[in-house]
Homo-oligomer: A and B are copies of this chain.
Amino acid sequence: MAPRQKPFDVERFFQALADRTRLRLLNLMGGQEICVCYFVEILGQPQPKISRHLAYLRNAGIVSARREGKWMHYRIVMPSNTGAARVLQGILAWLKEEKSMQADRARLTRACCAPKKFVTLQGAPSPALAGMEPASTSR
């Protein structure tokens, strides 16, 4: 028996997008895989809060996590539902146009270029470009 891929949960999908912090996280990921410590540094918000929102996105199937030693890397996974995937791409493109989101990305770039300037980022792994893989069995 095939594992019977559960139907895409539209409500959960939009719920996941209905929070500014989560949108900021998604905007920072947009295309690349990023370490949690960058999120904490750049959003300037308590680590448990960041972690909770990342968990929410994970449970909604919008991002996946990869462990690398002490660090956790998050990336966006495109929904297998093609309509949802197109919409998500559109949303990411929209975010890129927003001023505050551009500011976030600019800070990310600066942090990546000079991680030594951030006490909290000593030795943190740099974000790496990551092709958006289709949703797989990983959770």
Contacts and interface: CB of A to CB of B under 8 A. Distances in A.
- Please report whether the interface of chain A is mostly helix, strand, loop or mixed according to DSSP: helix
Interface string A83-97: 110110011011101
List 8 A-B pairs, minimum CB-CB distance, nearest first: A83-B94, A14-B18, A14-B17, A15-B18, A90-B90, A87-B90, A14-B14, A83-B97
Interface residues of A, number: 22
Given A14-B17, A17-B14, A18-B11, A94 B98 contact: no
A96 to B, nearest CB: 9
A10 interface: yes
Copies of this protein, total: 2
A87 B91 contact: yes
Contacts of A94: 83-84, 86-87
Contacts of A10: 20, 23
Given A10-B20, A15-B18, A17-B18, 9 more contacts: A12-B18, A13-B18, A14-B14, A18-B18, A83-B93, A83-B95, A86-B90, A87-B90, A87-B94
A23 B21 CA distance: 24
Contacts of A87: 87, 90-91, 94
B11 A19 contact: yes
A13 B91 CA distance: 12
